[in-house]
Chains A and B, each alone.
Chain A
Amino acid sequence: MTDRTRATDGGSGMRVAVRAAGDWEDDVDETEGIVVDWFAREGRSVQAGDTVCEIQVEKVSVDIHAPVAGTLDEIVVDEDDAFEIGDTLGWLRSE
């Protein structure tokens, strides 16, 4: 997995990472979380700001929003799988 959050591959649009990150990071001690639910499947379109998935860190649920409008290109961390805070959970392809 790459650290870059944006990458192009020559296709239409830009790949934008959906990351397990946000203001809530300051409030938690735990470094791991799990993905509870994805609200779109790969290939489906999302609007900027839509809740694309729900994660759980220290038993608290957090909504992760789409950083841009586009289609959900790839789910990297599946439901019930664990991640490190800051990880890329999936990729959007911007419009």
Chain B
Amino acid sequence: MSDADDVIDRELTMSRAMVESIAHEMRENEEVFYMGEDVADYGGIFDSTQGLLEEFGRDRIMDVPISETAYLGAAVGAAQEGMRPIAELMFVDFFGVAMDQIYNQLAKNTYMSGGNVNVPLVLTAAVGGTYNDAAQHSQTLYGTFAHIPGLKIVVPSTAYDAKGLMHNAIRDDDPVMYLFHKRLMGIGWMPAPDGPKTPVPETDYTIPFGSADVKREGADVTIVTLGLHVHRALAAAESLAEDGIDAEVVDLRTLVPLDTETIVESVRKTGRLVVVDEDYRSFGVTGEIIASVADRDLDALDAVDRVAVPDVPIPYARPMENEVIPDATDIEASVREVTSGE
């Protein structure tokens, strides 16, 4: 990434980087197509398919009726028959109506068929809050999907990562859930923080799954996070640096497979672990990461904490939503707590 900064002049938003990789794969392989609600004429309500209809037409960029169970079932079938569908669940919160298609068909059909069928489907979905859309349109639900065997889970935090991970997702022969955070897409009515817009090569490239990225090196504490909270953790790290606390920020990039190696290596260096997640606190990413480190090297952990959404529905009202979704100040406070021991 750092050597790329010198030579790449153009920068892209995360949505444009995703679209560029999808368009590339569609040109290379006629089996790749995109289906979802408002993905054709509208270009995706979070710009996930902006401009694709003009190039590829309605046979390959398909608007579907509002029945997630019908079109996700159709996408699973198309994948099993040899096509490479990308199906978009407009908000991840809507997974409930298609839970059998996702949990029992998509995730398990390769296993249930004794390996006779592959399901090379990319299921994209918008995740996350911070814009007052209330409890049924603001969840991330990372843990809900990482929990079930059979799904790979991708959560990009920058345009560079989004493009490379999308290339890898479409070329993967197994089901991949690609969860993009609305706040990172770079859309006009929901300004992104500084950070997700990065230099992006025009050529195709892949980022392998299960490779976490150290977004900031530091010696005193390891902050493990993903998605929007990579940028909030980096902001917290900048502020902590002013007080001489040197935080390392590890961006998971994929939850399944999980790069435990990079996390443990970082914790062995710093001795302190703070896990930050925009999903609910209980039975989720934070507990899993901490348990994985404890399993591998309990002695490496001098202090540990987690920062996540408390176990409540995401409120609609702005001050209340801001209260429950972790911000840079919450991350800072947690880091100060775990580093105050000496």
A interface list, Cβ under 8 A from B: 34, 36-41, 44-46, 50, 54, 56, 59, 61, 79-80
Contacts and interface: CB of A to CB of B under 8 A. Distances in A.
B188 A56 contact: yes
Contacts of A50: 10
A61 B9 contact: no
10 closest cross-chain pairs (CB), A and B: A56-B188, A44-B9, A36-B188, A45-B9, A39-B11, A39-B10, A61-B188, A37-B186, A37-B13, A40-B10
Q: Is the interface of A mostly helix, strand, loop or mixed?
A: strand
Contact of B9 (A36, A37, A40): A40
Contacts of A80: 191
Interface of B: 9-13, 16, 186-189, 191, 197
B188 A59 contact: yes
Contacts of A38: 11
Contacts of A40: 9-11
B188 A54 contact: yes
Contacts of A79: 191
7 contacts: A34-B188, A36-B191, A39-B10, A39-B16, A45-B9, A46-B9, A59-B189
Contacts of B186: 36-37
A44 B12 CA distance: 14
Nearest to B11: A39
A61 B189 CA distance: 10
Given A36-B186, A56-B188, 11 more contacts: A36-B187, A36-B188, A36-B191, A39-B11, A39-B12, A40-B9, A44-B9, A46-B9, A56-B189, A59-B188, A80-B191
